[in-house]
């Protein structure tokens, strides 16, 4: 799992192990953000199914001012530690 565009491009994302979270595939996120590109800059982005946080992190990487992450279970804590901020 990685960020596919923007400031954090190519950074790897940590995802929870097991079947509790199914991260959004890179190809689907790329298609979504190609459509949303003109609206992302400076917006507040809601990631309503933020198991891994990949969609919200992608929005932040592409210029969203803020992202709100919602998850329905307590095991979805990966968004707190992603993307890794160490230099590549």
**Distance (Å, whole) CA 32 – CA 26:** 10
**pLDDT attached to residue 87:** 45
In a domain, 4, yes or no: no
Distance CA 27, CA 81 (A): 23
Position 34 in a domain: yes
Q: Are 57 and 3 in contact (CB under 8 A)?
A: yes
**What's the domain count of the chain?**
1
pLDDT at 10: 87
**30, part of any domain:** yes
Contact between 64 and 43 under an 8 Å Cβ cutoff? The reply is yes
pLDDT of residue 85: 46
pLDDT per position in the chain (88 positions), as tens? 889 999 989 898 877 777 777 778 889 999 999 999 999 999 999 999 887 888 999 999 999 999 999 987 655 455 455 555 444 4
Q: Is residue 16 part of a domain?
A: no
């Amino acid at each position: 799992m990685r960020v596919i565009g923007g400031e954090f491009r190519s950074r790897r994302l940590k995802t929870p192990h097991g079947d509790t979270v199914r991260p959004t595939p890179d190809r689907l996120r790329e298609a979504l953000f190609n459509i949303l590109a003109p609206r992302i800059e400076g917006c507040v982005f809601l990631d309503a199914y933020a198991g891994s946080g990949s969609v919200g992190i992608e929005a932040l990487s592409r210029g969203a001012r803020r992202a709100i992450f919602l998850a329905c279970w307590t095991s979805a804590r990966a968004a707190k530690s992603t993307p890794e901020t160490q230099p590549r």
